[in-house]
Amino acid sequence: MSTASPSRDDELLARLQAPPELSDGAESLAYWRRRRQRLPWYRMRARREAARMVLVWERRLRNALVRQRGAPVGIRLSAAVLVARTHFGRWIRRAVLVTAAMTALVLVVLVVPALLVVDLALRAL
């Protein structure tokens, strides 16, 4: 029985799990972001897959930024901007959702009871 096979497998797994080259990671993240934006709203499964892949490639690109010290400054900067833009876009979407939810809550809590009071006052006349 040979022990060379597991070491080759371990080597292959380590290579597959290692962070990608910065340029490859940035291209992949940009591809999945564009795909998510291009897909129509009714292709929910494909949009969900693209959103998951954006998260996966964002994490891999962040790891590559930390681990690959000898990469050119331009590539490092473009990768960092791409990751930051993805985070900022996600933050904006969440802020819009929270604002919409708070607006709906204000309408339900303040406006609806006020309309009921006005309706009761008009019926009393």
C-alpha closest to that of 116 among 68, 124, 91 = 124
b/e string for 22-55 if b means 16 or more Cβ within 10 A?
Answer: beebbbbbbebbebbeebeeeeeeebeebbebbe
Q: Is the pLDDT of residue 2 over 80?
A: no
Residue-wise pLDDT for 55-66, tens only, equals: 898 888 888 877
| H or E segment and range at residue 124 | helix 112-124
The set of residues, in sequence order, having a beta carbon less than 8 Å from that of 3 and lying 6+ positions away, is none
Report the C-alpha gap between 36 and 38 in whole angstroms: 6
Mean pLDDT of all residues belonging to the chain: 83
CA distance 31 to 25: 10
Tokens for 100, please give them. Answer: 């919409």
Amino acid found at 14: A
> Per residue in 55-94, pLDDT tens?
898 888 888 877 767 777 777 777 778 778 777 777 888 8
Please tell me the pTM assigned to this model: 0.55
Task: Give me 65's structure tokens.
Answer: 């930024």
Residue 27 has pLDDT above 60, yes or no: yes
32-49, pLDDT tens digit by residue? 999 999 999 999 999 999
